[in-house]
Structure 1
């Protein structure tokens, strides 16, 4: 059992609802179920990290990985968010992940839309400084991009580790929102002579292309990589 609203229990583990994770529009598209949120996060490796620097909003694209109920987000020791997250009080952030599944083309411009799956997580991020946790985080970041990759490459050198930073965000204030509907045309528009429908959108990995200095055959973890 888990509690996601005061006085309410569910059989499915869910994150707690807060004012920041309850949408003001289309609340029926939102979910706080952990499995649904984790599935969306695990299905991609690019996130957008939002924070405030010198009084102005900043949003940076970067790679991430989930380990349990934590997000590990990659960066440089010289970057602004990493410098802020190294402080004892941490760095307030907002992390977003989005999959675009289809373009929804209606008979009116107003009713055009997108089918999507998204996650928004709020919280305070901290720089990972424990060497063992940093090893786990860096391996997760590599393996989240290509499963099994971290065991097939040279580990980071001390110089590379000194230039690399990872921040950790606990998944406490987090929710998902999805749209997977068809076209919602107005009744009075149904007979208009305009095309309407869905245009599916997918991300496709092409065939691996070896670099000129690669002298070994394609490893098993790359042969199994979905394309």
Structure 2
């Protein structure tokens, strides 16, 4: 179960709150882009970046870290991951909504400085989005490692919300209006691989990327 405190307690729409750790793991496994909320010079900033997860730690790329995360002592952040699963189209506009899965992770991230730990974090990040690519592509050299910032955030403080199902007004007065109501699902899948135009003839995609097509 996910620990509960003042930040992670569900106050609004409590029925959509989840405390099972497996729900958090599933949401993180289903994506690879997160939004990092941080305060910079007294003002809020929310930055999209890529992430990877090993079950206990969230690693996220620090391409934005030069200003927002590394320009001084590290402060607390809020990292969010959201998947939209459909539009909930009710009989009244007030009851319209979204089916979604969302996670918020709180804490103070660590900048990875140890070369071995940093390399492992980059491996986790790479394998999270494209399993098999770490062993296929050239790995980062010392210069590239030095130019890359990677941060690690514990998953011990997190909040999860999920909304599924049809509109909530099917048994209310608006049910008599004779209007269609339901859900417009949203599906996301990988398309067909598109080769780099500079790629010489005869170089075929590796099997691990072929397996992602259409998924």
TM bucket normalised to smaller: over 0.9
Shift of 1:197: 1.1
Do the aligned residues in 1 keep the contact of 2:47 with 2:64 (CA within 8 Å)? no
Between the aligned partners of 2:65 and 2:14, the Cα distance in structure 1 is 39
The corresponding residue for 2:209 is 222
- Find out whether 1:97 has 2:84 as its counterpart: no
RMSD: 1.6
Between the aligned partners of 2:15 and 2:60, the Cα distance in structure 1 is 29
Do the aligned residues in 1 keep the contact of 2:193 with 2:213 (CA within 8 Å)? no
Question: Please, which of 9, 19, 43 is the counterpart of residue 32 of structure 1?
Answer: 19
5+ residue gaps, structure 1, are 1-13
Counterpart mapping for 1:74-93 below 5 A: 74-76=61-63, 79-84=66-71, 87=73, 90-93=74-77
5+ residue gaps, structure 2, are none
SS of corresponding position for 1:110: helix
Give aligned pairs, total.
211
Between the aligned partners of 1:195 and 1:181, the Cα distance in structure 2 is 15
Normalising by the residue count of structure 2, what TM-score does the alignment of the two structures yield?
Answer: 0.93
The corresponding residue for 2:54 is 67
Normalising by the residue count of structure 1, what TM-score does the alignment of the two structures yield?
Answer: 0.88
Do the aligned residues in 2 keep the contact of 1:149 with 1:221 (CA within 8 Å)? yes
Structure whose residues are more often strand by fraction: 1
Between the aligned partners of 1:69 and 1:226, the Cα distance in structure 2 is 29
Between the aligned partners of 1:18 and 1:172, the Cα distance in structure 2 is 11
SS of corresponding position for 2:198: coil
What are the superposed Cα offsets for residues 59-84 of structure 1, whole Å, 9 maximum, x if unpaired? 00110011121000102276223314
Task: Detail structure 1 runs of 4+ shifted over 4 Å in the superposition.
Answer: none
- Find out whether 1:125 has 2:74 as its counterpart: no
